[in-house]
Amino acid sequence: MPASVQQKIIIEEIKEGVLILKGGDLRGVLMASSINFSLKSTEEQDALIMKYQSFLNSLDFPVQVLILSRHLTIDGYLAAIEQKRKEQTNELLKIQTAEYLDFIKNMVQVGNIMDQSFYVIVPLARVEKKEANLVEKLGLFQKPRNGETKSFDELKTQLWQRLEYVASGLAGMGIKSVPLNTEEITQLFYRMYNMGSKSVATMPAKE
């Protein structure tokens, strides 16, 4: 990675599923499912909006919603289907498989298939600033407080509490979410900084 790009990345380390920024602040990342809002009835849509509004109002810390969209390539999937077609001994199934392949190829050419992923980023400051009293605000008699520095384990515990709270709020709207581990966060940032590459669809491994 070029030095100019590295300078713009404010991440110092990814440790135990936690993003540690160069300033010492922490970030946790939840991967979230989605809801097809347009398929909901008007009443269901209104209820979801109210729940979302209530959830946001209950937060005493900011959150960031990240949506990654990229074109989906199914070349590997098509190759696997073609291989199965060649191995097929039943002529009728062979013809049906060929027709299915043509249908999928045409659909991909006509449609613009995108792969979308949704994430919620939850922050935690390494140094917690305390609310100053009137004397401290005026700068009289006392030195200003710089805050209290906590250990990584203490900060991680606090961050996890926030992640659990956010996950619970999302669950109330029917959105499932899970925290990303170190490897998954690393892969996420690789995707973000390599947006030119396509998301690849593969056939699930046979048990």
Q: Where are the domains of the chain?
A: 9-69+117-194, 73-112
Cβ pair 172, 55 in contact under 8 A: yes
Is the pTM of the predicted complex or chain greater than 0.85? no
For 10-66, the pLDDT digits (tens) are 888 999 999 999 888 999 999 999 999 999 999 999 999 999 999 999 999 999 999
How high does pLDDT run on average in the chain? 82
Q: What is the pLDDT of residue 77?
A: 86
Ordered DSSP codes for 163-203: HHHHHHHHHTTT--EEE--HHHHHHHHHHHTTTTSPEE--P
For 100-136, the pLDDT digits (tens) are 999 988 887 766 677 789 999 999 998 765 555 555 5
Q: What is the pLDDT of residue 10?
A: 81
Mean per-residue pLDDT, 133-152: 56
- Which one is predicted more confidently, 75 or 183? 183
Q: Token match 């509004």: residue?
A: 53
- The whole-angstrom separation of Cα 45 and Cα 185 is 32
Task: Using DSSP, state whether 49 is helix, strand or coil.
Answer: helix
Q: What is the pLDDT of residue 3?
A: 55
Cβ pair 146, 126 in contact under 8 A: no
- The whole-angstrom separation of Cα 119 and Cα 188 is 10
| Phi, psi torsion values for 25, nearest 5 degrees | -70, 160
Q: What is the pLDDT of residue 174?
A: 93
Per residue, what are the HEC states of 102-162?
HHHHHHHHHCCCEEEEEEEEEEECCEECCCCCHHHHHCCCCCCCCCEECCHHHHHHHHHHH
pLDDT band at 190 (very low <50, low <70, confident <90, very high): confident
